[in-house]
Amino acid sequence: MKYRVERDSLGEVQVPEQALWGAQTQRSLVNFPIGTEKMPSEVIEAVGMIKKAAAIVNVELKVLDKEKGVAIARAADKVIAGDHDDQFPLSLWQTGSGTQTNMNVNEVLANLASKYSGEPIHPNDHVNRSQSSNDVFPTAMHLATVLAVEERLIPAMEGMAGVLGEKRDRYAGLVKIGRTHLQDATPVTLGQEIGGWLRMIERCQSMIMTSVEYLKDLAIGGTAVGTGLNAPDGFGEKVAVQLGDITGIDFRSAPDKFHSLTSKDELVALHGTLKALAADLMKIANDVRWLASGPRCGLGELVIPANEPGSSIMPGKVNPTQVEAITMISVQVMGNDAVVGIAASQGNFQLNVFMPVMINAVLQSVRLLSDGINSFTERCLKGLEADEERLSSTRDRSLMLVTALAPALGYDTAASVAKKAHQERTTLKEAAVSMGVLTGDEFDKLVVPERMV
């Protein structure tokens, strides 16, 4: 491989001849040969947006030549579009402030912009003008997260809610047995059961959107420690407006930059709602798993789509594979929540230096939840069907229909009817009549499952 010589404040370093990055990126590659995880592409795209917005504002505020600003913005568009993704090779496990990724973007943009403008453009003096890694990276974290949630997760949740709403309405009148403690309970409709699932998704969506609003406050303009040193007046506010124009989302300059640089409470709050969503998805998926168990020797009340052979040895077996995928995703998200919380607690003095691991966890959670919900909805929920014959059978055999007798007979007598039926393997009606506490007609008038929901 051929190399060229690049220089930074520490001296000379050899860089691959065709690379668009410079000395600081190369030093990071050498000094952090750790793991396989790279900085998420969403973060690189977000930093590209910040650099474009900053270049425009720096020109407007007359701290950067127009020609240089135009060239930087043009280069940033290429990065935002993903045209140079191979030029961002740095390990996630780097400096905790994200400085090396900020400089990676600065160096790539400087080299590209220099080609466009025909004059030297410096990564620090021009691309990073009026900025610090300490306000750029937190801003990129917020920007990337808001975009991921609003463009990917919320549409996935809306799609799932739509399917659940259709199933709820379809099965609104289908009475089945309820269950508590994994034991038979009084009846519900399948529509009511599915409606509970729908409410979980709708409620989580509302909580997520509320949390996202706080992430629209941006740290940009705080520079190194929150004071705004070396940034012109109004820089942060104007960059926020530019980012709104680029993304179509209303971003704001954070009112307290000291808070923005050191605290990550907005991301903790957002990820807490992602954990809540993961918990609800685990519950919904496990309900489907249990209700579809069988098909003959389990509950067998729901029929799941047969997407692929379920066993390498048992012919004809169908397994709840989409359930297993979404529940594994839920476990990962719950684990990521611990990462986010612990990382956010490490904001010492004026800066948090656990930011790369934190944003990687947040974006992984959003990505997994978005993809997982889409797959679970498309390949499981859409094709989910009720086995109405099985539902009727389990409902009519349930001993907990005896609950309807309690007002007429009293709790203890009703319990005796249920125990007798269970011990003698008879119906509740047969037990009540044999005990002489009700006639057959009286039983039929009192125990009507459709009236118990």
Could you confirm whether 181 is annotated as catalytic?
yes
The annotation status of 99 as a binding-site residue, yes or no, is yes
pLDDT of residue 24: 97
Domain layout of the chain by residue ranges: 3-129, 135-229+255-389, 399-451
The annotation status of 41 as a binding-site residue, yes or no, is no
Active-site residue, selected from the candidate residues 126, 259, 293, 311: 311
Predicted confidence band at 255 (pLDDT cuts at 50, 70, 90)? very high
Tokens of 27: 């030093």
Active-site residue, selected from the candidate residues 28, 117, 126, 181: 181
Tokens of 361: 């966890």
Topology of the domain covering 399-451: Ribonucleotide Reductase Protein R1; domain 1 (1.10.40)
- Read off the pLDDT of each residue in 324-352 and give the average, rounded to a whole number: 97
Tokens of 5: 């010589």
Predicted confidence band at 365 (pLDDT cuts at 50, 70, 90)? very high
The annotation status of 312 as a binding-site residue, yes or no, is yes
Is residue 69 within 8 Å of 250, Cβ to Cβ?
no
The annotation status of 360 as a binding-site residue, yes or no, is no
Predicted confidence band at 149 (pLDDT cuts at 50, 70, 90)? very high
β-strands 385-386, 302-303: how paired? Answer: antiparallel
Percent of the chain residues past pLDDT 90, beyond the cut:
100
The annotation status of 180 as a binding-site residue, yes or no, is yes
pLDDT of residue 169: 98
Which whole-number Å values give the CA distances from 175 to 171, 389, 392, 406, in the listed order?
9, 11, 7, 20
Which whole-number Å values give the CA distances from 41 to 44, 141, 266, 370, in the listed order?
5, 12, 21, 16
Instruction: Encode pLDDT of 230-250 as tens digits.
Output: 999 999 999 999 999 999 999
pLDDT of residue 191: 98
pLDDT of residue 144: 99
Distance between CA 137 and CA 261 in Å, rounded? Answer: 9
pLDDT of residue 304: 97
38 DSSP β-pair partners: 91
Q: Which residue reads 């309820």 in tokens?
A: 178
The annotation status of 330 as a binding-site residue, yes or no, is no
What are phi and psi for residue 302, nearest 5 degrees? -115, 150
- Read off the pLDDT of each residue in 7-29 and give the average, rounded to a whole number: 97
The annotation status of 122 as a binding-site residue, yes or no, is yes
pLDDT of residue 222: 98
Topology of the domain covering 3-129: Fumarase C; Chain B, domain 1 (1.10.275)
Confidence (pTM): 0.96
> What angle (nearest 5°) sits at the alpha carbon of residue 348, between those of residues 347 and 353?
60
184 DSSP β-pair partners: 179
pLDDT of residue 32: 98
pLDDT of residue 316: 93
Tokens of 453: 């929901």
Is residue 304 within 8 Å of 320, Cβ to Cβ?
yes
Distance between CA 155 and CA 163 in Å, rounded? Answer: 13
Instruction: Encode pLDDT of 152-196 as tens digits.
Output: 999 999 999 999 999 999 999 999 999 999 999 999 999 999 999
- Read off the pLDDT of each residue in 59-76 and give the average, rounded to a whole number: 98
Predicted confidence band at 197 (pLDDT cuts at 50, 70, 90)? very high
Could you confirm whether 271 is annotated as catalytic?
no
pLDDT of residue 331: 98
Predicted confidence band at 17 (pLDDT cuts at 50, 70, 90)? very high
The annotation status of 253 as a binding-site residue, yes or no, is no
Q: What is the mean pLDDT of the chain?
A: 97
Distance between CA 195 and CA 201 in Å, rounded? Answer: 10
Predicted confidence band at 36 (pLDDT cuts at 50, 70, 90)? very high
pLDDT of residue 163: 98
The annotation status of 124 as a binding-site residue, yes or no, is yes
Class of domain 135-229+255-389: mainly alpha
pLDDT of residue 110: 98
As a whole number of Å, the end-to-end CA separation of the chain is 74
Tokens of 204: 């989580």
β-strands 11-16, 3-8: how paired? Answer: antiparallel
The annotation status of 104 as a binding-site residue, yes or no, is no
pLDDT of residue 416: 97
The annotation status of 318 as a binding-site residue, yes or no, is yes
CA-CA-CA-CA dihedral for 163, 164, 168, 170, to nearest 10: 20
Give the burial string for 105-142 (b: 16+ CB within 10 Å, else e).
bbbbbbbbbbebbeeebbbeebbbbbbbbbbbbbbbbb
Is residue 50 within 8 Å of 140, Cβ to Cβ?
yes
